[in-house]
Amino acid sequence: MNRREFLKTASATAVAAGSGIAAPAIFSPARADARSETLLIVSESGPNNLDIQGVGTNVPGYEVSWNCYDRLISHEMKTGDNGIPYYDRAKFKPELAEDMAVGDMSATFKLRKDATFQDGAPVTAADVKWSLDRAVTVGGFPTFQMKAGSLEKPEQFVVVDDHTVRIDFLRKDRLTVPDLAVIVPGILNSGLVKKNATDADPWGLEYTKQNTAGSGAYKVTKWTAGTEVVLERNEDWKGGPLPKIRRVIWRMVPQAGNRRALLERGDADLSYDLPTKDFAEMKAAGKLSLVSTPYSNGIQYIGMNVTKPPFDNPKVRQAVAYAIPYQKIIDAVMFGLAKPMFGAPADSATQVAWPQPHKFNTDMAKAKALLTEAGFPDGFETTLSFDLGFAGVNEPLCILVQESLGQIGIKATINKIPGANWRTELNKKEMPLYTNVFSGWLDYPEYFFFWCYHGQNSVFNTMSYKSPAMDALIEGARTAAANGDMASYDTDVKGFVDLAFTDIPRIPLYQPYVNVAMQPRVSGYQYWFHRRLDYRSLVKA
């Protein structure tokens, strides 16, 4: 999509079902009861790996892991501001564990004795330990996720007996128990995976990339990368009430117009991450059930690699921050379905909260002056990268940014990276300028900053930003929260937010919404921290 095409589509009517699109028919059921137990999902992109602990697993891969693997515990639900069930960050419920006892420096979990893996093997404490050992050892995102909750060493996970596991704490950390309820510490069938492991691959990552090996409510029975995932209900699931949906067919339909047509014709049951213009129009039409929920602890941002010239110069980063066409992005890309994270009043006080808006706004004169001060009066050339798996938002956003940067002499060539490769390319930290979304699974400011700004974090600190002062503030906030010293906690949180906005290695644009469109016959949608679908709660009339 070039600038002319984008500006044209921004003002044109979205493609409707009756416009003659040759959208593929997906499902033609012979029996109504079969259809009521089958959920048909269409999305722009799909998983590149079925195991969240795998190398470079993308966000759609999280959805598979969430539904196919159990964890020791999960969250209770509450009613969100929009009336939709929303996970309660502070309340937990059993999943594989039927009982949890949290002490001062350890937690003990009693496992369900009737829980089995999808091949019929019993779930044992040895499987739990092996799975947690794996999570803290494989490296990359999974290991850093565990570290975010001070879960770092295999020695912390102790088998007490066949159905009892103790987790010893390295330190007091209020994120430890919540971190056991995220997607990463799913419990694997260790016997099955070890049979398919090799000396070169001791954790069986190649096997679990293509096969599910859990005790969860669903199992993958077919996966054609980039095309389709089929999941079947695990009839022996013990982690909760048996789901109403027996079969999930998840199709990748790259063209947004086709996805919309499939929904409006009734051929698909559910879709999410449609272009916001389509979503706004469908919401106004009132024929589908539509839900918008702000990302918990999440922002869309422009990131800059601070180790590579010219973005190693703070004045260049500030110039870019003043050149971003924030309101145009909200209006023409998001159609108002996002919460602005820019333009806070100059005299506003920093809050003990995240996300919160920074004080930059679009000011081309100030941007140009800063660029001149930085030694680039005529600008420079760079590349602006985005994840093609979410092109509906990323592409028009980048076109607007490209146009705006051009006005101060920065010539940005847009670089489109296939969704299956995005996480790998992001973690190489070679891209000088890019847009991305990050949403912290644990809804605490210090958790977001641990992931995105701490100098020792090699995963989502994609700007390669390092600041001893920032690290000290993040660690100080974590320690203060664990010890109940909320006065010190408040000071540290305000400190690291102020420093992030001063050094500006990444520029928050807005807090996105999760937009989900469903047929009226579909109910039971719940919002989760990972923003993906939980098939277990969904129901079709």
| Residue pLDDT, tens place only, 79-103 | 999 999 999 999 999 999 999 999 9
| Angstrom distance (rounded) from CA 46 to CA 111 | 33
Structure tokens belonging to residue 217: 């409510």
Tell me, what's the pLDDT at 9?
39
Contact in structure between 514 and 271 (CB atoms under 8 Å): no
- Closest CA relative to residue 506, chosen from 438, 444, 424, 421: 438
| Residue pLDDT, tens place only, 431-477 | 999 999 999 999 999 999 999 999 987 678 999 999 999 999 999 99
| Angstrom distance (rounded) from CA 274 to CA 296 | 19
pLDDT at 375 over 90: yes
pLDDT at 4 over 70: no
| Angstrom distance (rounded) from CA 507 to CA 433 | 11
Domains of the chain (ranges, CATH numbers):
70-76+88-199 (3.90.76.10), 298-510 (3.10.105.10)
Tell me, what's the pLDDT at 431?
97
Question: How does residue 203 score in pLDDT terms, banded at 50, 70 and 90?
Answer: very high
Which pairs with CB-CB distance under 8 Å and at least 24 residues apart come from 3-12? 3/399, 3/402, 3/403, 6/395, 6/396, 6/399, 6/400, 9/277, 9/396, 10/277, 10/332, 10/396
| Angstrom distance (rounded) from CA 42 to CA 228 | 9
Sort strands 298-304 and 289-294 into parallel, antiparallel or unpaired. Answer: unpaired
The separation between CA 491 and the C-alpha centre of its own chain, rounded to angstroms, equals: 28
The CA-atom distances, in angstroms, between 218 and each of 63, 68, 212 are 11, 5, 9
Residue 8, Ramachandran bin (φ over 0: left; ψ between -120 and 50: alpha; else beta): alpha
| Angstrom distance (rounded) from CA 434 to CA 302 | 6
DSSP string covering 98-159, please?
EEEEE-SSEEEEEEPTT-B-TTSPBP-HHHHHHHHHHHHHS-HHHHHHHHTTT---GGGEEE
| Angstrom distance (rounded) from CA 10 to CA 342 | 22
| Angstrom distance (rounded) from CA 353 to CA 489 | 11
Which residues does 420 contact at the CB level (< 8 Å), separation at least 6? 45, 48, 58, 225, 226, 389
Structure tokens belonging to residue 409: 């002499």
| Residue pLDDT, tens place only, 289-316 | 999 999 999 999 999 999 999 999 999 9
Give residue 335's identity as a one-letter amino acid code: F
Structure tokens belonging to residue 157: 């996970």
Question: How does residue 36 score in pLDDT terms, banded at 50, 70 and 90?
Answer: confident
Question: How does residue 154 score in pLDDT terms, banded at 50, 70 and 90?
Answer: very high
- Closest CA relative to residue 514, chosen from 386, 390, 398, 329: 390
| Angstrom distance (rounded) from CA 21 to CA 267 | 13
Tell me, what's the pLDDT at 420?
85
The separation between CA 398 and the C-alpha centre of its own chain, rounded to angstroms, equals: 20
| Angstrom distance (rounded) from CA 516 to CA 40 | 14
pLDDT at 21 over 60: no
pLDDT at 11 over 60: no
Tell me, what's the pLDDT at 458?
67
pLDDT at 1 over 70: no
Enclosing H/E stretch for 529: none
Contact in structure between 486 and 461 (CB atoms under 8 Å): no
Question: How does residue 8 score in pLDDT terms, banded at 50, 70 and 90?
Answer: very low
| Angstrom distance (rounded) from CA 453 to CA 470 | 7
The CA-atom distances, in angstroms, between 166 and each of 113, 156, 173, 294, 373 are 16, 8, 16, 36, 58
pTM for the whole structure: 0.85
Average pLDDT over residues 401-426: 95
- The overall average pLDDT reported for the chain is 92
pLDDT at 18 over 50: no
Taking the CA atoms of residue 176, residue 179, residue 180 and residue 185 in that order, the dihedral angle to the nearest 10 degrees is -130
DSSP state of 329: I
Tell me, what's the pLDDT at 15?
35
Of all residues in the chain, the percent with pLDDT exceeding 70 is 94
CB count within 10 Å of CB 381 equals 9
pLDDT at 229 over 90: yes
Q: Which residues of 165-175 are buried (b: 16+ CB within 10 A; e: fewer)?
A: bbbebeeebbb
Average pLDDT over residues 407-419: 97
pLDDT at 57 over 50: yes
Structure tokens belonging to residue 16: 């409707």
Average pLDDT over residues 260-267: 96
Contact in structure between 280 and 337 (CB atoms under 8 Å): yes
Tell me, what's the pLDDT at 486?
97
- Closest CA relative to residue 437, chosen from 371, 331, 527, 511: 511
Enclosing H/E stretch for 62: helix 59-68
- Residues facing 159 on adjacent strands: 165
Give residue 338's identity as a one-letter amino acid code: A
**Strand boundaries in 4-66, DSSP class E:** 38-43
| Residue pLDDT, tens place only, 490-528 | 999 999 999 999 999 999 999 999 999 999 999 999 999
3-state secondary structure of 493: helix
Question: How does residue 33 score in pLDDT terms, banded at 50, 70 and 90?
Answer: low
Which residues does 11 contact at the CB level (< 8 Å), separation at least 6? none
Question: How does residue 383 score in pLDDT terms, banded at 50, 70 and 90?
Answer: very high
Task: Give the total residue count for the chain.
Answer: 541
- Closest CA relative to residue 74, chosen from 174, 169, 179, 173: 179
DSSP state of 390: G
